[in-house]
């Protein structure tokens, strides 16, 4: 898979699979055709995605953030879609904003966020707005976080639906590490700390499709 | 040797086991049978020190070590290995990752990565497991039979000396059950571990041939016998079997 260092504020991707390293604070990303894009570092960035007609983007983040404020905005032309997989471990005070206004039809946008605390707080604000007179759109937001008792996470899913031809869903789950998973790994001889670490890492990697990004 | 003495176990203030006694000597195979809800799985979880199960009285000794003073990791590192009815799925954690981490953490990492992979592949072939399962997430999206075979793969890799099989037969078709039972028999013949089997299946008992069979009833072991007791249960059910004379073992 190609790796691209992005130094400009504009980038167009077309029928390709890439891992990108973004230098500017703001990037306007235009997508044509089927594109895979992986991101390993993303701190204090703004990413504006424009999906051209009949295009599809799989966008995967596997990142660590610390005192970071990230913003992702998605715009669809007709018959387009995005699978956004945002997996992060967080430290310090962090905010993630995801905005998606659908004012065209026949789009399929699926947004998955997985967050693991590593000492700190995270606020996730996800706004999906489906405008009137749009048809056959699918919109999914699925946000899950593993957290400890002493840390704080706030998830604010916000779904505004003005169309009656839409399949829209949003889920938000915040929970500590699953006890049965912990017991299972401990019963195979792993220490509690190692078991927790594997489970958290696996929770993040579980939504990532490409091995290149995981390694 | 495992020695369980006058054990009282509670879950959320409810007593599940009371005055539970059992001795399993090194290399012995014991079968624990009983009706649904009798508390058979409870004893497996207690042995592995699941914190959901409170031991309010009694002793739990394995080779002179007090298991009640240990956590789950320590018990596993004493060589105790559990295959439960429904092994959990852990998305994102692969079998290879878990096994290698366990072996390294326990200082049993004599194998380099190539030898480790070669060993895993050879066990996969023996167990009829596709090789790529090694790098798949633990039990994730696997059938009941595949999960049990993967647990057996873990067993062969970790080489425990005390094995607890909690209805390993559930979810297995006839062929898979024979394969699993024969693999366990092979492991037993090679390493001579102690085995505690919880089962309702005749085929597993026929192949593993336990030295002792216990019936759990009224929160404790009510009857102990040999393999004929299991045969009688398979023929007549638990009510028929309970008329057999009690032996000293496990009482």
Write out chain A residues lying below 8 Å of B101, CB-based.
190, 194, 198
The list of chain A residues with pLDDT below 50 reads none
Q: Distances from the Cα of B247 to the Cαs of A3, A189, B225, B240, B251, in angstroms?
A: 72, 36, 7, 17, 7
pLDDT values of chain B reduced to their tens digit, one per residue, 251 residues: 999 999 999 999 899 999 999 999 999 999 999 888 888 999 999 999 999 999 999 999 999 999 999 999 999 999 999 999 889 999 989 999 999 999 988 887 666 888 888 999 999 999 999 999 999 999 999 988 899 999 999 999 999 999 999 999 888 888 889 899 999 999 999 999 999 999 888 888 999 999 999 999 889 998 999 999 999 988 888 876 654 444 444 43
Q: Is B53 in the A-facing interface, judged by CB distances under 8 Å? A: no
Q: Do B91 and A206 touch (CB under 8 A)?
A: yes
Q: Is A205 in the B-facing interface, judged by CB distances under 8 Å? A: yes
Write out chain B residues lying below 8 Å of A202, CB-based.
90-93, 137
Tens-place pLDDT, residues A7-20: 999 999 999 999 99
Q: What is the ipTM of this complex?
A: 0.92
3-state SS track over A84-119: EEEEEEEEEEEEEEEEEEECCCCCEEEEEEEEEEEE
Q: Is A146 in the B-facing interface, judged by CB distances under 8 Å? A: no
Q: Chain A closest CA to B177's CA: distance in Å?
A: 23
Residue of A nearest to B104 (CA): A190
Q: Is A183 in the B-facing interface, judged by CB distances under 8 Å? A: yes
Q: Is B48 in the A-facing interface, judged by CB distances under 8 Å? A: yes
Angle at A36 (CA atoms; ends A32, A37), nearest 5 degrees: 100
B225-245 b/e with 16+ CB inside 10 Å = b?
bebebbbbbeeeebeebbebe
Report the residue from B52, B91, B158 with minimal CB separation from A189.
B158
Report the residue from B52, B81, B105 with minimal CB separation from A190.
B105
Q: Is A215 in the B-facing interface, judged by CB distances under 8 Å? A: no
Q: How far apart are the first and last CA of chain B?
A: 16
The pLDDT score that the predictor gives to residue B250 is 42
Is residue A25 classed exposed, middle or buried when 0-12, 13-18 and 19+ CB atoms within 10 A define those classes?
exposed
Rounded to whole angstroms, the Cα distance separating A30 from A40 reads 19
Residues in A 35-54 with any Cβ partner in B closer than 8 A: none
Interface size A-B, in CB pairs within 8 Å, comes to: 71
The pLDDT score that the predictor gives to residue B109 is 66
Q: Do A198 and B73 touch (CB under 8 A)?
A: no
What region does B227 belong to: left with phi over 0, alpha with psi -120 to 50, or beta? alpha
The pLDDT score that the predictor gives to residue B242 is 57
Rounded to whole angstroms, the Cα distance separating B212 from B224 reads 7
Q: Do B50 and A192 touch (CB under 8 A)?
A: no
Q: Is B143 in the A-facing interface, judged by CB distances under 8 Å? A: no
CB B177 within 8 A of CB B203: yes
Q: Do A181 and B82 touch (CB under 8 A)?
A: no
Number of H helices, E strands in chain B: 8, 12
pTM above 0.80, yes or no: yes
Q: Do A185 and B81 touch (CB under 8 A)?
A: no
Rounded to whole angstroms, the Cα distance separating A122 from A93 reads 6
Q: Chain A closest CA to B95's CA: distance in Å?
A: 11
Probe site for chain B from A190, A198, A215 (most B CB atoms < 10 A): A190
Strand partners, A109: A82, A139
Q: Do A183 and B72 touch (CB under 8 A)?
A: yes
Residue of A nearest to B92 (CA): A202
In chain A, where the domains are located: 2-177
What region does A188 belong to: left with phi over 0, alpha with psi -120 to 50, or beta? alpha
Rounded to whole angstroms, the Cα distance separating B185 from B209 reads 9
């Amino acid at each position: 898979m190609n790796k691209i260092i992005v130094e400009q504020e504009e980038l167009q991707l077309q029928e390709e699979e890439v891992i990108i390293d973004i230098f500017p604070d703001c990037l306007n990303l235009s997508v044509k055709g089927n594109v895979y894009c992986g991101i390993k570092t993303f701190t204090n960035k703004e990413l504006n995605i424009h999906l051209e007609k009949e295009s599809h983007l799989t966008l995967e983040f596997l990142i660590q953030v610390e005192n970071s404020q990230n913003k992702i905005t998605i715009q669809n032309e007709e018959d387009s879609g995005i699978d956004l997989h945002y997996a992060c471990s967080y430290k310090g005070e962090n905010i993630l904003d995801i905005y998606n206004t659908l004012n065209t039809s026949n789009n399929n946008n699926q947004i998955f966020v997985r967050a693991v605390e590593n000492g700190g707080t995270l606020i996730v604000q996800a706004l999906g707005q489906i405008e009137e007179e749009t048809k056959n759109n699918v919109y999914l937001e699925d946000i899950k976080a593993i957290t400890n008792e002493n840390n704080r996470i706030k998830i604010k899913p916000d779904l505004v639906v003005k169309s009656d031809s839409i399949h829209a869903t949003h889920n938000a789950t915040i929970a500590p590490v699953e006890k049965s998973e912990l017991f299972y790994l401990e019963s195979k001889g792993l220490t509690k700390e190692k078991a927790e670490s594997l489970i958290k890492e696996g929770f993040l990697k579980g939504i990532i499709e490409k091995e290149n990004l995981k390694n | 040797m495992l020695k369980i003495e006058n054990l009282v176990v509670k879950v959320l203030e409810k007593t599940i086991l009371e005055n539970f006694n059992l001795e399993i000597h090194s290399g012995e195979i014991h079968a624990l049978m009983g009706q649904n809800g009798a508390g058979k799985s409870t004893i497996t979880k207690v042995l592995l020190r699941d914190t959901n199960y409170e031991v309010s009285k009694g002793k739990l000794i394995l080779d002179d070590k007090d298991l009640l003073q240990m956590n789950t990791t320590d018990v596993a590192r004493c060589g105790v290995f559990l295959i439960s009815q429904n092994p959990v799925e852990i998305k994102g954690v692969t079998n290879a990752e878990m096994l290698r981490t366990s072996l390294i953490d326990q200082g049993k990492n004599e194998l380099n990565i190539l030898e480790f992979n070669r060993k895993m592949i050879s066990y996969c072939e023996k167990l009829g497991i596709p090789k790529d399962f090694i790098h798949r997430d633990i039990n994730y999206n696997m059938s009941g039979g595949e999960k049990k075979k993967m647990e057996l793969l873990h067993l062969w890799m970790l080489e425990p000396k005390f094995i607890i099989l909690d209805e390993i037969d559930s979810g297995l078709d006839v062929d898979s059950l024979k394969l699993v039972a024969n693999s366990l028999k092979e492991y037993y013949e090679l390493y001579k571990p102690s085995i505690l089997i919880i089962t309702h299946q005749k085929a597993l008992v026929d192949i593993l041939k336990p030295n002792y069979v216990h019936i759990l009833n009224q929160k404790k072991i009510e009857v102990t016998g040999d393999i004929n007791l299991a045969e009688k249960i398979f023929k007549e059910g638990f009510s028929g079997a309970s008329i057999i004379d009690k032996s000293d073992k496990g009482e």
